[in-house]
Structure 1
Amino acid sequence: MIAITSTLVCGITLWIAYMNKARCAGGTFEESGRSAIFDVIKDSHVCYSDIQYLWLGRGINEHVFPYITGGITPDGQLTGGAVEYPVLSGLLMWIGGIGSHNDADFLFHSALLLAPFALLTAYLLARMAGPAALLWAAGPPLILYAFHNWELPVVATAVAAFYVMTVLTRYSLRDRAIAAAVFLAIGFCFKLYPGIFLPPLLIYVLVGEHPLREKRFDVRGALMVAATAIGTVVAINLPFALAGYDGWRASITFQQLRQADITTNSIWYWGLGPLFANTRSGYDTFQDMVSVASPTLIVASFALACWLGWKKYQLSGIYPWIGVSGAMLCGFLLFHKVHSPQYTLWLIPFLVLLEVPWGLIVAYLMADACVGIGVFRYFYALGAGRNADFEQNIVQIGVWGRAALLAIFFLLFIGARARSHGRLGVPGAVGLDLGSVSADRHIAPPARTAA
C-alpha cells in the first residue's frame, strides 16, 4: 500500500514541479523558438531549467542526432550535435526534441519522458524503506529539480541496482550483483556517478553476504560483475564513438575544461576562489590548483570510504556496500569543482534507505534550498545591478551548510542501519541485505522471499 501511495504522491509532486518550470515557458516565441519571457523571469521567478535553456546551442531545436556530428572548440564551446552529457542523456534530449517546435514543447516532452523514472524510483524506494520514501516522493528537491536537468533516469538506475540487491533475494548474490552492475553501468551512461558504486559492490560480492558462514572470497564472481559493468558501458558507447568520435569525445572534454566559477556552487569557488580573484594570473592559478586538488581529494575520499567499510566488515561480517556507496557520493559532491543544485536528487535515495537523523536531513534540505533558490535570486540581483550582499550570504549559508552535512553523512552512512519496515518479513532483514546492521543483529542469514 505504501508503494502505491508513494507513487501517487510522487505524481502530484511531479505535476507541481512541471508547473513551476513551465512558468518560464510559453507566450510569445522568438524566431528561434525561445520563449520571450524566459530571459526576463528565469532568475527572478526561480523557474530556470537547463532543459529549457539547452533548447538552443546543442542542435536540439534543429533535431540533430547527438554526437555523430560536431565537436568542441579549444575554448570549450560545443559545436554541431555535441552535448556535454553521456550518451544516454544526449539521446533522451534528442528524443524530447522530436516534434518540438519551441522550448515550451521541449520542456513538456522532456517532462513526459522523465516522469516515469521518478515514479519508478518512488515505488522502488517505498518497497525497500516504507514511508521514508515520501522524502523522495514529496520532498522539496523533487519540486525544485525534477525537470531542471536530466537527473531522474540516472537516479532510477541506481535505485534499481539497490532494489535488485536487497529485495530479490531468491536469486544468488552473484546473479543479483550482475544485474545490479548492468543498472549501474546504464546509469553511468546517463550521468557518470553510479559508476563509483561499482567498487563497493565488487567488494561485497568478493566477501559474500552471510556473516556466519565460512568466508571464501568469490574472486570469479567479482570479476564477472566487473566485466558485466565494463561490457555494458562499452556496448552503449561504442556505436556513438565509432560513428562520430569527435562529437562523442567532446562531452568528456567539456567536463574536463569546465572551471570552478560562479555557476558551480562549489566550496572551491566560495572558499578558495576569493583568495585569488584579484588578478587574471591569480584566477588561472586558482583554476590550476582546483584541477589538481579536486580529483585528488575525491579519490582520497573514495579510498577512505572503502577502507572504513572494510573496518566495518571486520567487525560485523557484512560489507556495507550501499553505505560505502553513499559515503563515496558525499565525497564526490563535497570535493568536485561543480556542485549543481539538482545533484541533491542523487543523494536523496541514501537518506531514504539509511537511518540517519531526520533533523540532519531537514537541515540539509534547508541548506539545499538556500542554494537551489538563493543562487538564482543572486544572479537576478547581480543582473539588475542591485546590491547582492543578502542573496550572496544566503547562497554561502547553503554552500557551507551543505558541505558540513555532507561530511557528516560521509561518516554516518557507513555505519548506518537500513530503514526497514519488514518488507522481507523478518525484522532487520532488509538492513542485513544492505550490509549496515551491527554485529549483534547477525543471528541468521537473510530470509529468502520472493520479490
Structure 2
Amino acid sequence: MTRSTSSPGAAATAARAALPFLPLGLLAALGAVLAYLWKAPCRYGGAWNDGTQQFLNFCYTDIYPLWWNEKLDQGVTPYFGHPVEYPVGIGSLMWVIQHLVSGTADPGVRFYDLTVFVMAASLVAGVVIMVALAGLQGRPWDAAWYALAPALILTAYINWDLLCGALSLGAFLAWSRRAHFTAGVLLGLAVATKFYPVVFFGPLFLLALRSRKLQAFLWAVAGTVITWVAVNLPFMLLAFDGWKRFYVFSSERGADWGSLWFFFQRRGWPFLGDAERLDMLGIASFGVLCLAIAVLALAAPTRPRLMQLCFLVLAAFMVTNKVWSPQYVLWLVPFAVLARPKWKPLVLWQVAECWYFFAIWLYLVTQQPGNEALGWGDGAYFSAVWARAITIVILAVFVVRDILRPGHDVIRQNGVDDPIGGVFDGAEDHFVLRLRPSTAVREPAPGSS
C-alpha cells in the first residue's frame, strides 16, 4: 500500500490559502455591478444623448459614442474600413461585439452592455489574480482594494482599461511562478490592448541587472515581442493606415484633460505652458524620473521589490503624461496596493481621485456655452487636478522611504524579501551602484541566504 504524502496540516494550509478567492471574487462581482448601476442614469435614462445631462449625472462613457464614432453602426470593419484610435486588442474586441449586436434593437446600448460584461469579467479575473499575488506577500485580503475601491466603481466602464489590467496582473503572476516566457506573452497582449504596460520592462530590467537574472528578463522580452508582432502584424500588413492611427494620434494630440501640462497651458505658464515644447517636456520629465528610479533601484542598500518599482514607474508615467483621463486610476490601484498596503495614504489618494472624477464632468459642463453656472470653473477643477497628482507623489515618497528603509516595509517582515519577484526573491546582488564610499558591510537582503 502506498502511503499518502499529504498531511492534515498541509491540507489545512492549502484550505486557508484558497479561502480568500471566493469571497474576494464575489466582492469583485459586487464592484462590477455597482459600477454598472452608477451608469444607470445614462444607460436607462437616455442621458448619453444629452451632452449636458451625461456630465451632470456623472455617467459618461467612451464606449457608447464610439459605436458611431468608429463607424461600427455602419458595419465597417475596424482598421480596414475606418482607422481606429485604439490598439488592435481593443479594436478586435470592438469588431467581435459589433457582429454580436448587429441587427438587434438599439445596438449602441447593446454594444455598451456586452463591452461592460467583458470589462466586468476582467475585473473579477484581475481581482482573483491579485488575491494570488497579494497572498504571496501574506496579505491576500489586500485585493479587496481592487474589488471595491471607490474610484474604481466610478470609472470602471469609461473605457477598456480593466482588460489590460487583468492581462498585466496575469503577467506578474506568471513571473512570480518563474514562467518568464508566459509572462512576456501576457505582457505582449496587454501592450497590444493599452500601451502603458511597456513601462514595466524598466523595473524588470533593473532588477535583472542588479541580481544578474538577465536570462529571465530576455525570455520575457522574447515572449512580449513575439506576441505583440503576431497580434499586430496582420493589421500592419493589410490595413497599415488604419493600424497606425493609434500611434499617430498619440504622438500628435496636445495636452488634454487631467494632465499637469493642460494646467500649465491653460494658465499660460512660460516654457512649461508652451504647446510647441509639449512632447519634449513630457518625454524629458518622464526620462528624468525614470533615471531617478533607476538610480534608486541599483543603489538602494537593499534591492527594491518588483511591485515597488512597477508602482513608481507607472506613477511617473501618469504624472508626466500629456493625457490623464479619469479611468487611468484603474491602472494604478493594484500596483499601489501591492507596493505599499497602508490604508491611510491609499484612502487619501482615493478621495482625491473621486474628487477629480466629479470635477472633470462639472468642468466640462462649463465648457458648453450657456452652462457656465451649472458646473465648476478653472479654480475648482485645477485644484482637483493637483490634488490627484500630489496624493500620488505622497504615495511614491512613502514607497521610496520603504525602499531605503526596509524596516518600514510591511511586506519585508520576518525575513521576507520579494515574494512576487520570482527569480529576484532572495537573489544575491551582483551589480550595485556605489554613490559614496562606504567601509560598512552591507546587510544581506531580507530572505537571502
Q: TM-score range by the shorter chain?
A: 0.7 to 0.9
* Cα distance between partner residues in 2 of 1:179 and 1:203: 20
Counterpart residue number, 1:306? 294
* Cα distance between partner residues in 1 of 2:95 and 2:410: 38
How far did residue 347 of structure 1 move?
Answer: 0.4
Q: Does 1:24 align with 2:42?
A: yes
1:8 to 13, 23, 26: 26
How far did residue 368 of structure 1 move?
Answer: 0.9
Over 3 Å counting, the alpha-carbon distance change for 1:225 and 1:382 in structure 2 is closer
Letter of the 1:402 counterpart: R
* Cα distance between partner residues in 2 of 1:321 and 1:36: 41
- Tell me which moved more, 124-133 or 244-253: 124-133
Q: Does 1:151 align with 2:161?
A: yes
3-state DSSP of counterpart to 2:244: helix
* Cα distance between partner residues in 2 of 1:275 and 1:27: 40
Is the CA contact (8 Å cut-off) linking 2:416 and 2:447 kept in structure 1? no
* Cα distance between partner residues in 1 of 2:40 and 2:127: 23
Q: Does 1:293 align with 2:277?
A: no
Is the CA contact (8 Å cut-off) linking 1:158 and 1:184 kept in structure 2? yes
How far did residue 38 of structure 1 move?
Answer: 4.2
* Cα distance between partner residues in 1 of 2:215 and 2:26: 42
Letter of the 1:408 counterpart: I
Structure 1, unaligned stretches of length 5 or more? Answer: 29-34, 70-79, 209-216, 446-451
Counterpart residue number, 2:380? 394
3-state DSSP of counterpart to 2:247: helix
Is the CA contact (8 Å cut-off) linking 2:48 and 2:60 kept in structure 1? no
How far did residue 220 of structure 1 move?
Answer: 4.1
* Cα distance between partner residues in 2 of 1:332 and 1:444: 32
Counterpart residue number, 2:131? 126
Is the CA contact (8 Å cut-off) linking 2:184 and 2:219 kept in structure 1? no
How far did residue 356 of structure 1 move?
Answer: 5.0
Counterpart residue number, 2:228? 233
3-state DSSP of counterpart to 2:74: coil
* Cα distance between partner residues in 2 of 1:430 and 1:131: 18
Q: Does 1:43 align with 2:34?
A: no
Letter of the 1:270 counterpart: F
How far did residue 349 of structure 1 move?
Answer: 0.6
1:258 to 246, 253, 256: 253
Equivalent runs, 1:42-81 vs 2, <5 Å = 42-69=54-81, 80=82
Q: Does 1:267 align with 2:267?
A: no
Counterpart residue number, 1:202? 205
* Cα distance between partner residues in 1 of 2:198 and 2:119: 21
Q: Does 1:442 align with 2:446?
A: yes
Equivalent runs, 1:48-447 vs 2, <5 Å = 48-69=60-81, 80=82, 82-100=83-101, 101-129=106-134, 130-166=140-176, 168=177, 173=178, 176-208=179-211, 217-261=212-256, 264-275=257-268, 286-312=274-300, 315-316=301-302, 318-383=303-368, 384-387=370-373, 390-414=376-400, 415=402, 428=416, 431=419, 433=421, 442-444=446-448
Over 3 Å counting, the alpha-carbon distance change for 1:125 and 1:439 in structure 2 is farther
* Cα distance between partner residues in 1 of 2:187 and 2:129: 15
Is the CA contact (8 Å cut-off) linking 2:164 and 2:193 kept in structure 1? yes
* Cα distance between partner residues in 2 of 1:347 and 1:432: 17
3-state DSSP of counterpart to 2:59: coil
Is the CA contact (8 Å cut-off) linking 2:425 and 2:447 kept in structure 1? no
Q: What percentage of residue pairs aligned between the two structures are identical?
A: 24
Counterpart residue number, 1:448? none
Is the CA contact (8 Å cut-off) linking 2:352 and 2:391 kept in structure 1? no
Letter of the 1:330 counterpart: A
* Cα distance between partner residues in 2 of 1:433 and 1:409: 21
How far did residue 250 of structure 1 move?
Answer: 1.2
Alpha-carbon RMSD across the aligned residues, in angstroms, is 2.9
Query: CA-to-partner distance for each residue in 1:254-290, whole Å, 9 max, x for gaps?
Result: 11111114xx21111113431169xxxx99x821121
Query: CA-to-partner distance for each residue in 1:146-178, whole Å, 9 max, x for gaps?
Result: 111000111111111222233x2xxxx4xx222
Letter of the 1:204 counterpart: L
How many residues align? The count is 400
How far did residue 49 of structure 1 move?
Answer: 0.3
Counterpart residue number, 2:3? none
* Cα distance between partner residues in 2 of 1:368 and 1:218: 37
3-state DSSP of counterpart to 2:43: coil
Over 3 Å counting, the alpha-carbon distance change for 1:289 and 1:332 in structure 2 is same
Over 3 Å counting, the alpha-carbon distance change for 1:136 and 1:391 in structure 2 is farther
Is the CA contact (8 Å cut-off) linking 2:207 and 2:297 kept in structure 1? no
Over 3 Å counting, the alpha-carbon distance change for 1:299 and 1:429 in structure 2 is closer
3-state DSSP of counterpart to 1:84: coil
Query: CA-to-partner distance for each residue in 1:9-52, whole Å, 9 max, x for gaps?
Result: 11011111112224213467xxxxxx774435211101100111
